[in-house]
Structure 1
Amino acid sequence: MRCGRTDEEGKGGVRGQPAPPKAAAILVTGSKSFQFCEASEQAEGKEEQHLCGKHVGLFRMDFSPAGSSDLNEAEEAEIETIKQHREELLEDIKKLKEQIAQVFAEIECFQNEERQETDHNAGEQTSKLSQRDKLLSLGRKKFNMDPEKGIQYLIEQQLLSSDLQEIAKFLHKGEGLNKTAIGDFLGGRDPTNIQILQAFVACHQFANLNLVQALRQFLWSFRLPGEAQKIDRMMEAFANWYCKCNPGVFQSTDTCYILSFSIIMLNTSLHNPNVKDKPPFERFVSINRGIDNGADLPEELLKNLFESIKNEPFSIPEDDGNDLTHTFFNPSREGWLLKLGGRVKTWKRRWFILTDNCLYYFEYTTDKEPLGIIPLENLSVRKVDDPKKPNCFELFNPNCKGQKIKACKTDGDGKVVEGKHQSYKISAATPAERDEWIEAIRTSITQDPFYDLVSARKKKIANKN
């Protein structure tokens, strides 16, 4: 047997073995792999890297078959071309992987920035809310000290709209607001205040409520001021709105106005411990005769109102616990005077405030708590002469001479004790000031705005008829 190779063997390889892989077949394989890696740009990251890596491994194979010396020049050139394409393709795949990694890095960076921005915005929003709450709290304090300035501040800080309806809703909600200050503001005579008052009253739901129920709701939302004109405006607005919510209950708003005052005075008479003579139902009926355009109101209606007040007095809103600051918002008069001591007869300079039929005196104008309180009920005032002090006047009880006046003061330990005075002698700086104080105290003692307002409205009804 011959041990050499035939021409066919030289051309096709060893007999019985497959021929070496053709360059064309390798080229097709490389082409398909390149197309796959191009398509993989749109695939998921891990799968893409895995598949591309797989095909990179394919192209790292040695394309030079065993017995490459048997290839002719054309086949060797074709293999070199394939090798070159392989290197180019590997370079393209490397660049593609780098681009994919860069894209994922950019995505992660964007997500981090987005998270940081979200955290920053949340912190900034919290900071803004905190700042807004501080400004709102300051605005409420300003309102409690000076309602007009407080409202103006809240509007300037864009915490409150200048729309009158919105201001009324803010006052009706009343969060953090002194109810005496609310009443003082709503009672103002400025046209803007009156419009806000009307909008404020309209915030109340009076439909299908009897008059006492409506008054309970209304009088809880603020404190009635002491000035008669302010009370008149506020009760007029109440009567108009109540009649609008409950048409047909009364023939006119005047009826509602008068009866409302009668109920308020009845509440005081029935539940004030200083009033000894408690009015019976018959007296309540008597004072309200003919107020419904000359006609009497149904006795059953009056009975229900009377019993409601008798069984449950009006709840008067309290402001700031024991802080008496709200008492002195709208004093009838205030100023420095000299007061003669009770047991020790020395003159001491005190700051006096006259309000709500009481005379308060303080050591300093900035004090919140008075040193003493002198209720003016049952007292009189007169001008007196004193050899040591000019311009004096005296507070005394004409019906109980020689007895101590019911008053209270704070002792050295801060305890509230009963006053020691049978009369109070006070000195003003000038005769004119003395006379002004005497007149103001007399007016406070004799004036009852409720009775005056009811009397005036009854005269109005009588003139109509």
Structure 2
Amino acid sequence: MDLCHPDPVELSSVETEELQQIKWHRKQLLEDIQKLKDEIADVFAQIDCFETAQESRMAQKEKELCIGRKKFNMDPVKGIQYLTEHKLLTPDAQDIAQFLYKGEGLNKTAIGAYLGERDPINLQVLQAFVDCHEFANLNLVQALRQFLWSFRLPGEAQKIDRMMETFATRYCLCNPGVFQSTDTCYVLSFSIIMLNTSLHNPNVRDKPPFERFVSMNRGINDGSDLPEEQLRNLFDSIKSEPFSIPEDDGNDLTHTFFNPDREGWLLKLGGRVKTWKRRWFILTDSCLYYFEFTTRDQWIEAIRASITRVPFYDLVSARKKKIASKQ
């Protein structure tokens, strides 16, 4: 017998059969393992395909969203229509309002244009958009800073009226008891905007003192005066920090009164009996405006030198008359 290569041990027939069964099971096990490997590889391949498809869909969605934003900036109504048709927005007013409120990639002049329309859906979106703002525990200047930064006011009187009315209603809802009525909030909001212009436009030499701001707002709280401390806080807030207005490309009324080319007192000849009267003039975008401050019945009178009236001031005059009629 070769000691280096011993003869294999002879197996009995039973042992031989058991060995064959072991080999067969081993073979089956290896085949099953390979099948599992193939199935796992197939699953990973499917996952890769799914992720690729998902990334492709996301890329396509992002592309369509980008197109929708551009369309909105050029034509807000068509932009919203495109976004809803491509399932990027629902036609629900709340969904559209959230989209405008977030404002990612949106022109704020276009946002203002859409919110200013009077179609039923636009009115619903305006309300939902304003409701996105939380004004609780903010004074009126703080609330206006937030509100006027979220879009640009359009130039049409009716649009401005709806927007500022909705703002005033929302502010009073968030801060019950601050004002007697939404009319007070409405008028004071415009008064603050004018104060901002007078204090921070470099062309305005006659900076209004606090006492003039108080006199401008006498009797606006349903016939009574607002607390002087409240007006002082608003005055000081605007004096220390002007409004930040969105810089798009707009040529609207907000731009007109926040950044006029020149402002100052001039004498104007007019009236049935021709007399010279002192008026505050604003020159902007080749248009001349003038108005006067009074203490009560008429807050501001303003007309456009080229015949048409300035809606900004007409709105306040009308609202002041409404307040006076309640007395």
- Report the Cα distance in structure 2 between the residues aligned to 1:190 and 1:441, rounded to whole angstroms: 32
Aligned length: 283
For the pair 1:62 / 2:10, whether they are aligned, the reply is: yes
Superposed, 1:197-346 pairs within 5 Å as: 197-319=126-248, 324=249, 326-327=250-251
Superposed, 1:401-420 pairs within 5 Å as: none
1:175 corresponds, among 104, 118, 122, to 104
State whether residues 172 and 185 of structure 2, in contact with CA within 8 Å, keep that contact through their aligned partners in structure 1: yes
- Report the Cα distance in structure 2 between the residues aligned to 1:152 and 1:228, rounded to whole angstroms: 26
Unaligned runs of 5+ in 2: 1-7, 265-282, 287-303
Superposed, 1:29-178 pairs within 5 Å as: 61-62=9-10, 83=13, 88-178=17-107
- Report the Cα distance in structure 2 between the residues aligned to 1:261 and 1:174, rounded to whole angstroms: 25
Q: What one-letter code is carried by the residue in structure 2 that aligns with 1:456? A: A
1:453 corresponds, among 312, 315, 325, to 315
In the superposition, relative to structure 1, how do residues 406 and 454 fare at CA in structure 2: closer, same or farther (>3 Å)? closer
Q: CA deviation at 1:182?
A: 0.6
- Report the Cα distance in structure 2 between the residues aligned to 1:441 and 1:455, rounded to whole angstroms: 18
Q: CA deviation at 1:244?
A: 0.4
1:442: which partner in 2?
A: 306
2:115: which partner in 1?
A: 186
Superposed, 1:317-396 pairs within 5 Å as: 317-319=246-248, 324=249, 326-327=250-251
- Report the Cα distance in structure 2 between the residues aligned to 1:376 and 1:309, rounded to whole angstroms: 20
Q: What one-letter code is carried by the residue in structure 2 that aligns with 1:459? A: K
State whether residues 204 and 263 of structure 2, in contact with CA within 8 Å, keep that contact through their aligned partners in structure 1: no
- Report the Cα distance in structure 2 between the residues aligned to 1:271 and 1:310, rounded to whole angstroms: 8
- Report the Cα distance in structure 2 between the residues aligned to 1:286 and 1:306, rounded to whole angstroms: 13
- Report the Cα distance in structure 2 between the residues aligned to 1:188 and 1:376, rounded to whole angstroms: 31
Q: CA deviation at 1:450?
A: 2.1
- Report the Cα distance in structure 1 between the residues aligned to 2:157 and 2:232, rounded to whole angstroms: 28
In the superposition, relative to structure 1, how do residues 113 and 407 fare at CA in structure 2: closer, same or farther (>3 Å)? closer
State whether residues 262 and 284 of structure 2, in contact with CA within 8 Å, keep that contact through their aligned partners in structure 1: no
In the superposition, relative to structure 1, how do residues 176 and 443 fare at CA in structure 2: closer, same or farther (>3 Å)? farther
Q: CA deviation at 1:406?
A: 10
Unaligned runs of 5+ in 1: 1-59, 64-81, 332-354, 358-374, 379-404, 409-439
- Report the Cα distance in structure 1 between the residues aligned to 2:188 and 2:233, rounded to whole angstroms: 13
- Report the Cα distance in structure 2 between the residues aligned to 1:407 and 1:216, rounded to whole angstroms: 25
- Report the Cα distance in structure 1 between the residues aligned to 2:307 and 2:51, rounded to whole angstroms: 60
Q: What one-letter code is carried by the residue in structure 1 that aligns with 2:27? A: E
- Report the Cα distance in structure 1 between the residues aligned to 2:195 and 2:310, rounded to whole angstroms: 14
In the superposition, relative to structure 1, how do residues 249 and 311 fare at CA in structure 2: closer, same or farther (>3 Å)? same
Q: What one-letter code is carried by the residue in structure 1 that aligns with 2:98? A: K
> What TM-score comes out, normalization by structure 1 length?
0.56
Q: CA deviation at 1:407?
A: 8.8
1:12: which partner in 2?
A: none
- Report the Cα distance in structure 2 between the residues aligned to 1:163 and 1:407, rounded to whole angstroms: 39
Q: What one-letter code is carried by the residue in structure 1 that aligns with 2:104? A: E
- Report the Cα distance in structure 1 between the residues aligned to 2:305 and 2:30, rounded to whole angstroms: 91
In the superposition, relative to structure 1, how do residues 136 and 265 fare at CA in structure 2: closer, same or farther (>3 Å)? same
State whether residues 226 and 356 of structure 1, in contact with CA within 8 Å, keep that contact through their aligned partners in structure 2: no
Q: What one-letter code is carried by the residue in structure 2 that aligns with 1:442? A: S
State whether residues 116 and 154 of structure 2, in contact with CA within 8 Å, keep that contact through their aligned partners in structure 1: yes
- Report the Cα distance in structure 1 between the residues aligned to 2:126 and 2:307, rounded to whole angstroms: 28
Q: CA deviation at 1:457?
A: 0.4
Q: CA deviation at 1:86?
A: 5.5
Matched position secondary structure for 1:122:
helix
Give the aligned CA root-mean-square deviation in angstroms.
2.9
Q: What one-letter code is carried by the residue in structure 2 that aligns with 1:448? A: V
State whether residues 203 and 262 of structure 2, in contact with CA within 8 Å, keep that contact through their aligned partners in structure 1: no
Q: CA deviation at 1:89?
A: 4.4
In the superposition, relative to structure 1, how do residues 356 and 246 fare at CA in structure 2: closer, same or farther (>3 Å)? closer
In the superposition, relative to structure 1, how do residues 98 and 142 fare at CA in structure 2: closer, same or farther (>3 Å)? same
Q: CA deviation at 1:264?
A: 0.8
2:289: which partner in 1?
A: none
Q: CA deviation at 1:119?
A: 1.9
- Report the Cα distance in structure 2 between the residues aligned to 1:406 and 1:250, rounded to whole angstroms: 34
